[in-house]
Structure 1
């Protein structure tokens, strides 16, 4: 095999820290909020998760690219990450059924990246200083010029992004003859969520992020689903208003991740930006109703206010994150509405939490 000589690249962080490495993916310059994912596998699913829109992802796994990419493992039609940071990047892959190598995939998708970085050192820095904006370039080597590019990158705090990754046209998922109809508010939904609903006998109509309640109700669904997605829930009053109106309808509602935060805000509970967020496949969560713990897949940089949740007499906290006691799940006491901060579809990740889809079905059957 002929080794490909890689161009030099630079990663510059908002606090002035910089790293030098080798270019991967497309040659170019790209900025975003830098954060890390601790998952040991599933890099393609991570890159195509719309919740990562606007973010530079650091993979903590040492070797990335070694099993290539497979078209059916997409969580959306294209990678949604802003850029990519890895330690050791593999130009070749060993999985026989893979469709492409990762370099081809990233280059074709226009994703800029950097390799040969001490990601352990970088992640320790982010854990200490917090998530911040950064820029990667394989074409600009002058740090002063890169700082100018970095200054133009918007802060994730207060940024509305769901309408940029949401579908622009309504579409269907599942079988038309399925016994249950679910209206899905797409704030940046993953394909695996729709698959989990369809497998349980749901015919889903997926609506753009800024669809009104009246438009969704006109389809006469048995239940409503509010999806995951990117950005600050505090900048999404349009979605909060839609959920408030859905709650008046008193039909079952299930929210995941950003959908969880929107349900909280619809109950006048605030959200806040976390220090560095939760992103990985091994976050422990305790179900306070069953007393059992789950290993979960998580990806979020905002969280629901714990104190306000505890004081709200119309809500019950159902799940708690065992790492930091943040709110991981809530349900309303006078409505058939519940939500979780993590990803029960778990693609990638463990399947401990897929029972939540069954609970949603049970609500629609009562």
Structure 2
């Protein structure tokens, strides 16, 4: 199986500070704008591309050689490719994998994803690490010939990621139910803010009938399915722009529902507890991020994809400003001491900033689904005893 890379058109990446990087068109031709970010994963590009958390972002792969295994119908994490654009250095001209259904560049073109190849991705990465993630645009094909000043105006007119609520763009429009594949515990309400299929599969294996619900769901919608617990998924955007989701989570916590949140769900948990969030300079994206679990002292290698974090005390126990009792930071990122998880001590609730389903990536954190299952079972046991 070969790709169409021999028919090359020009492309250019333009950053909001005026930096320009010339290369070759990859995927669809045209113009795309978004926040330019980098991911350090050496593998799993198909899972990255289909992760809804990347909506609104032009993703740069730091691994130089991309596309050698093509794409297939088994590994997507959602119904489509979500990245706003794609940047690679060395796209493979030949697909060499027995599972491949088509080449990566063909899949990008099919889903209308404008990309660029053949640029110095190390230089772009170093630039972003130094100056922070910024808006950018890829102009490919005939759009690469647009006047440079007009190209820059296109970039600076684009919305910044801070202040954007993108969950409505990636969420399901109606509830989808995946039955439990393990011994059944009960209904689980999952608010889809950009969920990955591997997360749904992991929850179903723990005995939950997984009800993936639209991000616009209300507390009455949740109560209507008589859930045993609530889960908030990963997703794109700024947690500070999601007041409605914070209000929903606050109501559910006051109902006494056990809660588990990952990634965006961790940030919204922080806000529901009364804490603030902030934008990271260039975020954490990749499958090699070290995190310490404070409850065990174990260091995990984790998969991450986030540009925002919770502002909370890293050491000791503190009181929730919103009145949910004692809270502690349960996980810390070892690269930069960012909050990577929180645990409530007086209500059944916890969250992590990374992806325990890790598709594709390491499985170090998969135990968190077991921890959630145990917490729900314990809560149900206490509830039954009180009854």
Shorter-chain TM range is over 0.9
How far 1:306 sits from its partner (Å)?
Answer: 2.8
2:134 corresponds to which of 108, 132, 135: 132
Q: Which residue of 2 aligns with 1:254?
A: 260
Ranges in structure 2 where 5+ consecutive residues have no aligned partner: 320-325, 379-387
Q: State how far apart, in whole Å, the 2-side matches of 1:261 and 1:45 are.
A: 22
Q: Distance in 2 between matches of 1:316 and 1:243?
A: 19
Q: Distance in 1 between matches of 2:239 and 2:210?
A: 24
Determine the structure 1 residue equivalent to 2:99: 97
TM-score normalized by structure 2? Answer: 0.92
TM-score computed with the length of structure 1 as normaliser:
0.97
**Partner of 1:193: helix, strand, or coil?**
helix
C-alpha contact 1:269 1:308 (8 A) present in aligned 2? no
Return the offset for 1:201.
1.5
- Equivalent residue of 2:138, what SS? strand
Equivalence for 2:345: 333
Q: Aligned match of 1:238 in 240, 244, 268?
A: 244
Evaluate the alpha carbon distance shift between residue 318 and residue 311 of structure 1 in structure 2; reply closer, same or farther with a 3 A threshold: closer
SS at match of 1:358: helix
Structure 2 equivalent of residue 168 of structure 1: 173
CA distance in 1, matches of 2:97, 2:208: 33
Cα distance in 1 between the residues matched to 2:174 and 2:224: 16
Aligned counterpart, 2:300: 294
Match for residue 10 of structure 1? 12
The equivalences for 1:164-313 within 5 A come to 164-175=169-180, 178-307=184-313, 312-313=318-319
**Hey, what does 2:74 align to over in structure 1?**
72
How many pairs align?
A: 366
- Distance in 1 (CA, whole Å) between partners of 2:308 and 2:176 is 29
**2:369: which partner in 1?**
357
- Residue by residue, what CA displacement relative to the aligned partner does 1:125-170 show, whole Å, maximum 9, x if unpaired? 1000100000001132221121121122100011110111111111
Report the Cα offset of residue 332 of structure 1: 1.0
User: Which sections of structure 1, spanning at least 5 residues, go unmatched?
Assistant: none
Distance of 1:311 and 1:132 partners within structure 2: 36
CA RMSD of the aligned region, Å?
Answer: 1.5
Residues 167, 207 of structure 1: 8 Å contact kept: yes
Aligned-residue offset at 1:309: 8.6
The residue number in structure 2 matching 1:123 is 125
